[in-house]
Structure formats: structure tokens, C-alpha cells
A and B are shown apart, each in its own frame.
Chain A
Amino acid sequence: MTQETTLDPFALWKNMYEKTEANLNDVIHETLQKEAFSEWLGNYQNAFLQYQSFVQKTTENYLKQINMPTREEISSVASLIINVEEKIENLDQKVEDELLTNPSTAEINKLKVSVSKLDKKMDQILKLLQQNEKKAPPVSSEVQK
């Protein structure tokens, strides 16, 4: 009896990947850890930065010629906004600190309570005085008799 099999390209590829990955990794790792690779990476980095620098300078000159703001100029505006925001933040912090730590609000509230108590007492005194006035006999008429 023969077993019927169909071609499964993915399984084939995955199998190949799994078998070669570990070996390939070792080879690549060996290359990547060599000092020569670090040196090459450094050279590549320098060349890339040289190219970047050239592109940046060219773009900047072109933008200046056509009276358009450069990245530097736009970022300066953004910095100004950030600085203003920073000042608002500092003020916000001061206000918050003041509200939480300064006892003036509490003292004003205490004063308000004292004044209102005093006000009530004054009202009571006035009330009593008025009652006394009504109860007292008219002194002037007796004197005439």
C-alpha cells in the first residue's frame, strides 16, 4: 500500500526555515560580533550622516531662497509656545500651592463665622432693649402730676 501525499509548499518552506534558522543565526551572530563589523557600521554611519548633513543644508538653502520657513525656524516658534506654556504651568503650580498651603482662606472663613455670631448677639441685644422700652412706665406724665 502506498500513502498518498500532496505537495505542501508552506510546510516545506517552514521546515527549511526552522532547520536553517539556528545555523544561519549562529553565522550571522559570529559576523555581527566581529570588530570589523563594528568598524564597517561606524563607516556606514559616518557616510549616512554626511549625506544627511548635505541634504539638510541644501534643503535649508533652497527654502531660504524661496522665502519659506526652515525646520529650524518652525521649531523656534514651537519653542516659544512651549516657553509660554511653561510659564503658565509655573503660575498654575503657584496658584495650586497657594490654595492648598496658604491659611488666608481658612482665616477669612473663621472671621466670617465670628462676625455672623457677633451680628446675632447684636440683634439679641437690640431686641431686648426694645422689649425693655415697651415695658417701662411713662416717667414724664407722673412728674407733671
Chain B
Amino acid sequence: MIYDRTKEMEAWVDLIPEEMQKNYNRFKRVSEVLTKDPEPQVGQTPKEVIWTKNKAKLYRYQPAKAKTNKVPLLMVYALINKPYVLDLTPGKSLIEYLTDQGHDVYLLDWGTPGYEDRHMKLDDYVLDYIPRAVQKVLRTSGADEISVLGYCMGGTMTSIFAALHPELPIRNLIFLTSPFDFADLGLYTNWLDERYFNLDKMVDTLGIVPPETIDFGNKLLKPIANYVGPFVSLADHADNEEFIKGWTLLQKWVHDGIPFPGEAYRQWIGEFYQKNKLINDELVIRGHHVRLGSIKANILNIAAQHDHIATPKQVEALMDKVSSRDKTYHVMPAGHVSLLVGGGAVKRTYPTIENWLTEHSK
């Protein structure tokens, strides 16, 4: 019955003017994308798990592929959203791009924390997980040195790890839109003001902070562009299947949040956003003083010009603090996510990282 009606409707649409047909088809395609289309597949580059700890997993990508670069690359992801943004889909994947070029790529995926992980602190991630993952990578690859790439908050964690482990053979450090200086954060500074934002009560009540809370904070920075903008773009490009594919992939990732372990959140907001301890050499991790000046590895630090989550100013601040002789700072014409996903990323970000890495691994 419904099928008959749909057929009748389709026949009727054929009779109306072309302009109106176009609008009908646009509306139909948008409805299909939002209600009927299956979720896109993500993280399809072949991988094997080489180590696990609690919910964290260490992956090695394309193990069967020849590794021409002698220094392995460990990617450290953030505690926000899922790491498949680094391996979104074939042809739009930083991991696939690098492994295809002969790099031995590993990814430390933190997994999805549960209520039992509410006591996890940044100390645990930085001192218990990352060093062990580095050791595993070195043993699996048989290499003497390692490169580490930190994405967003994962980069901030990587910098702390590198500062606290000068004895480890870290040859290269790559940071992608990682904030280091939290002095002037615009709206965030106002919203997270200690006088109004009750951080302790939030952590004590919720235990683990739901992903919606973090997503809400990020989207509130540009509410119209974030809440309405994506749907305007979708309707505008409803006849472009390639655009729709990219749109659904990105929307899947944006809405695929994970909870933030309470104690780590207390540190992240309290000691970074509210007190800006890292850049001022005031951060203490399990009794160890973190001094970014202890970092001597080669550095590639990439910021995105239109990033409002980790602004170029926040990212660039690292450059004056580290003791590295070989350090490069790049600002890409992109946003926080488009730096890694989309045509611009494939054309600019991936080759920039690959070229630098190859050059610094000889």
C-alpha cells in the first residue's frame, strides 16, 4: 500500500517543473541520509593488536607491508572522541597514507572508559601506559629509536611524557593541533572561571564526565555553525555523493564521543584550563616536575589556522619552551578537524607529515 503511494508520488513528481523536482530530490536524499542510510565503515586499514592494558589497545598497522622507514611511529590519541579519525576511510586516512609510504605505524587507543576508571589520572596515562607502549613498539619493530605523534590532547600528554622521559630514545615528536598554553582561551576562559564552574562538584557527582558535556562545550563556541551549519551543507550538496560520504563519516565521528575519566578531567580543566600549569613549568605529575625544556627531540608542531578548540597561539607556545635544536612550526589553512579529514588534509597535512618524518628518520 505504502509502496503504491510512493510510486504514485514518484510518477507525480515527474510531471512537476524541473526546479521543483530538484528540490523534491534534495529533500528526499537528505531524509535518506538522516534516516535510512547505514552508518559508514571506519578504521579499515588492516591492523593487529600487539598489547592491551585495561581498555587501552596498541595497534600495529599493515604488518604485512614492507617497512622502508627504520624509525617506527607511535600515535598517541586524545581522551576525547575515538581515534578512528586518524584512519577514517580508505583514501582519507593518515594511517593508511603513512603505512603505504613504508612507515611502521602504531596507534595507542585508550578505549572507552567505564565508571570503574573514574580514578584514572593523567599521571597513569603518561607514566604507566605511554612508556610501556613505547617499549612494546621498540621491541616489535626491532628499532633503536622511535617517533611519537600526538593528536590534540594526545599531543599535550605526549609532551608531558617526553619531558619526563629524557632517557628514552625519542628521535622525533609530531604534534597535531595540541594545546600547550591555556592563558587566553576566549570563551573557554570565561565559562571555566573558577568562580562559576564547579569542577570538583562535577567530578564528584558524575564520576566519569559524559561525552555530551564535552561536545556541548565545544559546540557552544560557534553554536549556529555547529548545530545548523552541517545540515545546511548537507542540503546544499545533496546531489554530490562524494560530499555525502565525507559528511556522514565526519558526523559519525563528531557524535561518537566517549566519557572522560573523572580524575583526569579534574586535572585537565583545573591544572591546564584554569591554572595553565604546563607552559609555566608548574605541572607536577606523580611527584615529578614537568619541564618542557627537557625535550630535546626533533619537533614538528602543526596548528590549524581556523581552529577554535586549540588555537594557533595555544599550539605555537611550545616552540619557545623546548630545548630541541631541530623544530618546525606549521600553520595549515584548516580547522581543528579538517586538518586531518578531507581534501585539504590529503593534499597538505599528510604529505607535510610524511616528508618531515622521512627526512628526520634517515
| Residues of A near any B CB (own CB < 8 A) | 6, 8-10, 14, 17, 21, 24-25, 28-29, 32-33, 35, 37-39, 41-43, 45-46, 49, 52-53, 56, 71-72, 74-76, 78-79, 82, 85-86, 89, 93, 96, 100
Contact = CB atoms under 8 A, between A and B. Distances in A.
A75 B222 contact: no
B196 A42 contact: yes
Contact of A17 (B193, B220, B228): B228
Given A35-B190, A75-B115, A41 B196 contact: yes
B26 interface: yes
B187 A32 contact: yes
Contact of A79 (B116, B139, B198): B116
Contacts of A10: 23, 26, 235
Interface in B87-146: 114-116, 118, 132, 139
Interface stretch (B40-48, B200-208, B282-290, B297-305): B200-208
Contacts of B197: 38, 41-42, 45
A56 B205 contact: yes
B53 interface: yes
Contacts of B243: none
B63 interface: no
Which of B26, B118, B223: most chain A CB closer than 10 A? B223
Contacts of A89: 53
B357 to A, nearest CB: 27
Contact of B193 (A21, A38, A76): A38
A35 B189 CA distance: 11
Contact of A52 (B54, B115, B205, B232): B205
Given A10-B23, A28-B224, A45 B202 contact: yes
Contacts of A29: 187
Contacts of B17: 6
B187 A33 contact: yes
9 contacts: A9-B23, A28-B223, A33-B186, A42-B197, A45-B202, A49-B205, A52-B205, A56-B205, A78-B114
A78 B116 contact: yes
A41 B225 contact: no
A72 B225 CA distance: 39
A93 B201 contact: no
Nearest to B202: A49
A35 B191 CA distance: 8
Interface in B210-246: 220, 222-225, 228, 232, 235-236
Interface string B138-173: 010000000000000000000000000000000000
Contacts of B220: 32
A45 B192 CA distance: 11
Contacts of B186: 33
Q: In which size bucket is the chain B interface?
A: 35 or more
B66 interface: no
Nearest to B128: A86
A117 B53 CA distance: 46
A74 B116 CA distance: 8
B254 interface: no
Contacts of A53: 205
B68 to A, nearest CB: 26
A96 B195 CA distance: 51
Interface string B27-59: 000000000000000000000000001100000
Given A28-B223, A33-B186, 8 more contacts: A10-B235, A17-B232, A37-B190, A38-B190, A41-B197, A46-B198, A49-B198, A100-B139
Contact of B196 (A39, A78, A79): A39
A48 to B, nearest CB: 9
A6 B19 contact: yes
B20 interface: yes
B196 A33 contact: no
Nearest to B232: A17
A85 B78 CA distance: 23
A85 B54 CA distance: 7
A96 B139 CA distance: 10
Contacts of B228: 17
A3 to B, nearest CB: 13
Contacts of B205: 49, 52-53, 56
A49 B201 contact: yes
